[in-house]
Amino acid sequence: MAQKVRKAVFPVAGLGTRFLPATKAIPKEMLTVVDRPVIQYAVEEARAAGIEEFIFVSGRGKTSLIEHFDHSFELTQTLMARGKTKELEDLQRWLPDPGQVVTTRQHLPMGLGHAVLCAKRAVGNEPFAVILPDDLVLSQTPCLKQMVEAWEEVGGALVAVQEVPRHQTRRYGVLNIDHDYGKLISVRGLVEKPAPEVAPSTLSIIGRYILPPEVFGHLETTERGAGGEIQLTDGMVKLIGQTPFHGYRFEGKRYDCGDRFGFLEANLAFGLAREDVAPALRRIVSELFN
């Protein structure tokens, strides 16, 4: 029987320096888009894709993230006593069951590849997803669910990709394309944060991956790369030729919530996509322009 993707890794150890002063005392993943923290979107997306275990690679000052997914006896009791059934049901709907959240720590800020490597023991010998919570995707079908369905056909490694303007390639892992099949792209190589002049294409990785466990062995021997960090991209490159490796053009729009403008845009876009928020938000925005 084909293996199932049951576990997802959430690298959440980053300092969020691009978002100071907001992130001085609170984790960037706890910043709110409309009415829930960024990390909650990521966890809900994973759950919608059939993920059963959520592995947080965390760091210092990130306790509130773990608290957010913990059951709060006092809150439950208070909501019950006050007859707030709707709030209680909402809470139960997204809270993971006891034991579904696993945390590990990245002791040193050595890059995304190193963060994923810190989840090696928790993942074990099975395929797994990686979700970078900064990248929010607004789509009909949750992005990771789309990917799991595609991965069940092709296996190996699958990374979400989108076209970016050439002058932005320095922000992304970029594909060297072997063959473009439309939704799927077979990959010949990958380069982390190339200069526009040397980028092999403009098809860039966004923060959703499905990877085979063999990537851990490769990450263990990966040297520091772009920015002096151990890059996930450099570890993944070594899978090419050993396992099928594809880019996946997902349906939906990605917002970079690690950036203040991307974050503002995400608040508007996610608000406008919600029936309970859109009418008031539309009114507020149009009033601002009058």
Considering only the stretches 117-125, 176-184, 228-236, 260-268, report the one whose residues sit in contact with ligand G1P under the rule CB under 6 A.
Answer: 228-236
Q: Which two tokens stand for residue 31?
A: 């910043």
Q: Does 222 bind ligand G1P (CB under 6 A)?
A: no
Closer to ligand G1P by CB, 79 or 174: give it: 174
| Distance (Å) of CA 140 to CA 87, 152, 272, 275, 284 | 25, 20, 14, 14, 25
Amino acid at 257: C
Q: Does 199 bind ligand G1P (CB under 6 A)?
A: no
> Residue 172 interacts with ligand G1P (CB under 6 A)?
yes
270 vs 38: CA distance, rounded Å: 11
Residue type, 167: H
Q: Give the span between the Cα atoms of 12 and 132, in whole angstroms.
A: 8
Write down the least CB distance from residue 208 to ligand G1P, Å. 9
Residue choice 23, 103, 233, 267 for contact with ligand G1P (CB under 6 A): 233
192 makes contact with ligand G1P (CB under 6 A): yes
- Residue 248: phi and psi, rounded to 5, are -135, 115
Are 243 and 214 spatial neighbours (Cβ–Cβ below 8 Å)? Answer: yes
Range in contact with ligand G1P (rule: CB under 6 A) among 42-50, 65-73, 90-98, 227-235: 227-235
Stretch binding ligand G1P (CB under 6 A), from 31-39, 78-86, 176-184, 199-207: 199-207
Residue 207 touching ligand G1P (CB under 6 A): yes
Q: How many amino acids of this chain bind ligand G1P (CB under 6 A)? A: 13
Per-residue mark of binding to ligand G1P, 257-276 (x: CB under 6 A) = --------------------
Closest contact distance (angstroms) between CB of 13 and ligand G1P is: 11
The whole-angstrom separation of Cα 133 and Cα 41 is 8
- For the bound state, the minimum distance from the C-beta of residue 193 to ligand G1P, rounded and expressed in Å, comes to 7
- Lookup result for tokens 């077979």: 186
**181: its two tokens:** 């099949």
- Angle CA 225–227–229, to nearest 5: 55
Q: How far is CA 37 from CA 171, 172, 198, 243, 260, in A?
A: 24, 24, 37, 36, 15
- Residue 247 sits in the site that holds ligand G1P (CB under 6 A): no
User: Which of positions 86-125 make contact with ligand G1P (CB under 6 A)?
Assistant: 112
- How many CB atoms within 10 Å of residue 289? 5
CB under 6 A: which stretch of 33-41, 143-151, 201-209, 269-277 binds ligand G1P? 201-209
For ligand G1P, the binding residues (CB under 6 A) are 112, 132, 135, 172-173, 192, 204-207, 231-233
